[in-house]
Amino acid sequence: MKNLKLAAKSAKEGKTVVEVGDVRIGDEFVVIAGPCSVESEQQVLESAIAVKEAGAKVLRGGAFKPRTSPYAFQGLGLKGLKFLKKAGNEVGLPIITEVIDPRDVSWVCEYADIVQIGARNMQNFSLLQEVGKAGKPVLLKRGMYSTIAEWLNCAEYILAEGNPNVILCERGIRTFETYTRNTLDLSAIPSVKEVSHLPIVVDPSHATGKLSLVEPMSLAAVAAGADGLIIEVHANPCEALCDGAQSLDGPGIKQLIEKVNKLNAAYKAL
Amino acid sequence: MKDEKIDLSYVRRKIDQLDNNMLQLLQKRMEVARISAVFKDPDKIDDPKRESEVVKALTDRENALLKGEFIESLYSLIFKESKRIQRETTTLAAFQGEHGAYSESACRLWNPNFAPMPCEEFADIFRGVESGIYDYGVIPVENTLGGMVGQVNGLMLFSDVFVVGAIKLPIHHCLLATPGTDYRSIRRVYSHPQALSQCREYLRRQNFEPMRYYDTAGAAKMLSKENPASSAAIAGKLAASYYNLEIIQEDIEDLDTNQTRFLIIAKEPTRGDGNKCSICFCTDDRAGALFKVLQIFADKNINLTRIDSVPEHPGEFAFFLDFDGNLKDPNIQEVLSRVEDVSANYRFLGCYEERSAL
């Protein structure tokens, strides 16, 4: 970790708080929720209404999708981004979306309040430099095969471009276990907090790939000291074009946020 | 359309573009037909001799793909519609610029039943309204970011038209490109210098090169016709639909306070209903001359909403004044007669309704 000039805990006094509108990530516990992919104007609006009502603070949604197969649904692109922005404006939530191509960064920044770098692009250094220059808050997911040190070095790339607003996101790493999609590395949360001032959120949806595990791992993340959660929500999960099996529905996210809030309160009182 | 594969989707895009061009030509054709009604005796709109001459000249050009019978039946339809237009004499409202201009949006908002007629110059609008070719003219007078539209006041000064209405229109710019354009390939953006300057921050963020063009809608028209590589245009939504362009991004102006005020002009004044009045006058070239006029309004507590000045002769200025009020109000009448006494070349331009589309 000795290469970390800006991401290291010693580089800064106190924690980094990333401000997005009224939301203060790193200061308050923030739930980011929404569909894996923007599929239509109607679908993203329905999901937005559901997550807003449940108490989420940021709306997520993918317009540019990095998919394992080139034949899988690749996202609606710029059109999807417009739908997401419109839905966000309608319900009054800032939006986060992934960017996968350096040529798209300026376009994504026209609409997104937070740009996300996905696990597969964590070490795409030209993309990291581009989002660093763009000046919007960045959520940097951990690569599925990356060490914490490699991950923090990637955050360093963004910080080094003069963009201080980096949020880390643990989304599970690859192990020999096949029951879950990935293995959620909860120890990464306190580890990152030991070495860095950056806020860290957890994505239990991609980490487990199983709806039944989203809630328990969300609560575990709270207990481990995470600054927030990023959860996949679809108004009709069985109709989703992508990752329907791990998406919560409206009542599901509402119940999850209620439990998370209770646990957070109890945790603070400890 | 460079480096593109010729396949069905390419051909269809081409057809869409041609259909759009044909519709633009038909629009123009009907506009000219409508204007011809001004010069025709209403009983002599039917002119079979002229029709057969026109059809003859066109069918002479028949070939393997474009058959004479087709040309004939197409033109019988066009003639029929064109004669209907001449008989019905829809109200005409002239605006400056190409179809799709913000002035046309203002015209459509003012009265959706008016036929907006494009004119090249502001002077053409004034001349056309004075001579009775157009029933109304729609002219921009001031923009919140760009200031007053100078030319218009000068023309108003030497014209005898009246102001019969006003409308405030929010100006929202869009980034437009031909259908199928990859937004990532855009490098140059064409528009009127004022629109470019209203989107300066946006152009900087996207690293686009601003390209000055005579008109916003004109830039959109050029794009749809010539489709230069790596290019887009800044214009309004109306221009996008008129020239079959894709809206890449909406509301790209740097400030959302951008609005333009348009005046509606006509040959005859209104009957005096409305919430606004306009006058113009000259003053002597001496200290306090303008102040004396303004004092009259201040004394009666009348709110002035616009003061513009234009040089009439070297050293002599004409002033344009808009204020809240109605001509039937005795208070206003008294003020106006006093203004007439203390100024020169006084002219009452109109009492009219001002609307806001904000």
Over range B62-91, report the average pLDDT.
92
Mean pLDDT of chain B: 91
**Which of B88, B113, B145 is at the close of a domain?**
B88
The answer to whether residue A25 scores a pLDDT higher than 50 is yes
Q: How far apart are the CA of B236 and the nearest CA of chain A, in angstroms?
A: 18
In a shared domain, residues B163 and B264 = yes
In a shared domain, residues B276 and B155 = yes
The domain tally of chain B equals 3
Asked whether residue B153 is assigned to any structural domain, the reply reads: yes
Asked whether residue A13 is assigned to any structural domain, the reply reads: no
CA angle (B104 as vertex; B356, B145 as ends), nearest 5: 60
For the entire predicted model, the pTM comes to 0.83
When mean pLDDT is compared across A182-196, A220-234, B80-94, the lowest value belongs to: B80-94
Q: Residue for token digits 């209104």?
A: B270
In a shared domain, residues B244 and B292 = no
In a shared domain, residues B37 and B186 = no
Residue A134 is part of which domain span? 23-269
pLDDT band at B46 (very low <50, low <70, confident <90, very high): confident
What residue in A sits closest to B246 (Cα-Cα)? A79
Contact B183 A106 (CB under 8 A): no
Residues B259-311 have pLDDT tens digits of 999 999 999 998 878 999 999 998 877 888 889 899 999 999 999 999 988 88
Contact A107 B184 (CB under 8 A): yes
Contact B205 A104 (CB under 8 A): no
Closest residue to B249, CB basis, from A103, A104, A110: A110
Percentage of chain B surpassing pLDDT 90?
Answer: 71
In a shared domain, residues B78 and B222 = no
The CATH number given to whatever domain includes residue A94 is 3.20.20.70
- Higher-confidence residue of A171 and A242: namely A171
Closest residue to B184, CB basis, from A103, A109, A110: A103
For an interface test with A, which of B206, B207, B251 has the most A Cβ atoms less than 10 Å from its Cβ? B206
Q: B320 catalytic, yes or no? A: no
Closest residue to B184, CB basis, from A104, A109, A110: A104
Asked whether residue A149 is assigned to any structural domain, the reply reads: yes
Contact B206 A106 (CB under 8 A): yes
Asked whether residue B295 is assigned to any structural domain, the reply reads: yes
**Which of B214, B249, B284 is at the close of a domain?**
B249
Asked whether residue A241 is assigned to any structural domain, the reply reads: yes
The domain tally of chain A equals 1
Asked whether residue A135 is assigned to any structural domain, the reply reads: yes
Q: What is the predicted pLDDT for the residue at B3?
A: 58
Asked whether residue A7 is assigned to any structural domain, the reply reads: no
Over range A259-264, report the average pLDDT.
96
Catalytic residue among B181, B216, B260, B283: B260
Q: B305 catalytic, yes or no? A: no
Regarding an ipTM greater than 0.85, the answer is no
Asked whether residue B158 is assigned to any structural domain, the reply reads: yes
The CATH number given to whatever domain includes residue B69 is 1.20.59.10
Q: Which residues from B are below 8 Å from A when comparing CB atoms?
A: 183-184, 205-207, 248-249
Which residues does chain A have within 8 Å of residue B248's beta carbon, measured at their own beta carbons? 78
In a shared domain, residues B166 and B263 = yes
Which residues does chain A have within 8 Å of residue B184's beta carbon, measured at their own beta carbons? 103-104, 107
When mean pLDDT is compared across A170-174, A220-224, A241-245, B251-255, the lowest value belongs to: A241-245
Which residues does chain B have within 8 Å of residue A79's beta carbon, measured at their own beta carbons? none
In a shared domain, residues B164 and B293 = yes
Cβ under 8 Å to B: A residues 33-92? 78
Q: How far apart are the CA of A70 and the nearest CA of chain B, in angstroms?
A: 19
Residues A141-153 have pLDDT tens digits of 999 999 999 999 9
**Which of B195, B227, B249 is at the close of a domain?**
B249
In a shared domain, residues B343 and B211 = no
In a shared domain, residues B161 and B227 = no
In a shared domain, residues B213 and B245 = yes
Query: CA A242, CA A47: separation in Å to the nearest integer?
Result: 14
The answer to whether residue A183 scores a pLDDT higher than 90 is yes
Asked whether residue B2 is assigned to any structural domain, the reply reads: no
pLDDT band at B124 (very low <50, low <70, confident <90, very high): very high
Asked whether residue B3 is assigned to any structural domain, the reply reads: no
Residues B229-265 have pLDDT tens digits of 999 999 999 999 999 999 999 999 998 888 999 999 9
Query: Do A200 and A190 touch, CB atoms closer than 8 A?
Result: no
Asked whether residue B254 is assigned to any structural domain, the reply reads: no
Single-letter code of the amino acid located at B44? K
Query: How many residues appear in chain B?
Result: 358
Over range A16-41, report the average pLDDT.
95
Which of B146, B151, B152 is closest to B264 using CA atoms? B152
In a shared domain, residues B346 and B269 = yes
Q: How far apart are the CA of B177 and the nearest CA of chain A, in angstroms?
A: 14
The CATH number given to whatever domain includes residue B218 is 3.40.190.10
- Higher-confidence residue of A84 and B43: namely A84
pLDDT band at B4 (very low <50, low <70, confident <90, very high): low
Q: What is the predicted pLDDT for the residue at A62?
A: 94
Contact A107 B183 (CB under 8 A): yes
Percentage of chain B surpassing pLDDT 70?
Answer: 98
Asked whether residue A83 is assigned to any structural domain, the reply reads: yes
What residue in B sits closest to A86 (Cα-Cα)? B250
- 3-class secondary structure for chain B? CCCCCCCHHHHHHHHHHHHHHHHHHHHHHHHHHHHHHHHCCHHHCCCHHHHHHHHHHHHCCCCCCCCHHHHHHHHHHHHHHHHHHHHHCCCEEEEECCCCCHHHHHHHHHCCCCEEEEECCHHHHHHHHHHCCCCEEEEEEEECCCEECHHHHHHHHCCCCEEEEEEEEECCCEEEECCCCCHHHCCEEEECHHHHHHCHHHHHHHCCEEEECCCHHHHHHHHHHHCCCCEEEEECHHHHHHCCCEEEECCCCCCCCCEEEEEEEECCCCCCCCCEEEEEEECCCCCCHHHHHHHHHHHCCCCEEEEEEEEEECCEEEEEEEEECCCCCHHHHHHHHHHHHHCEEEEEEEEEEEEECC
Q: What is the predicted pLDDT for the residue at B1?
A: 45
pLDDT band at A70 (very low <50, low <70, confident <90, very high): confident
The answer to whether residue B80 scores a pLDDT higher than 50 is yes
Over range A72-88, report the average pLDDT.
93
CA angle (B27 as vertex; B26, B29 as ends), nearest 5: 60
In a shared domain, residues B263 and B350 = yes
Contact B249 A106 (CB under 8 A): no
Residue B46 is part of which domain span? 8-88
Query: Do B200 and B212 touch, CB atoms closer than 8 A?
Result: no
Asked whether residue B1 is assigned to any structural domain, the reply reads: no
The answer to whether residue A134 scores a pLDDT higher than 70 is yes
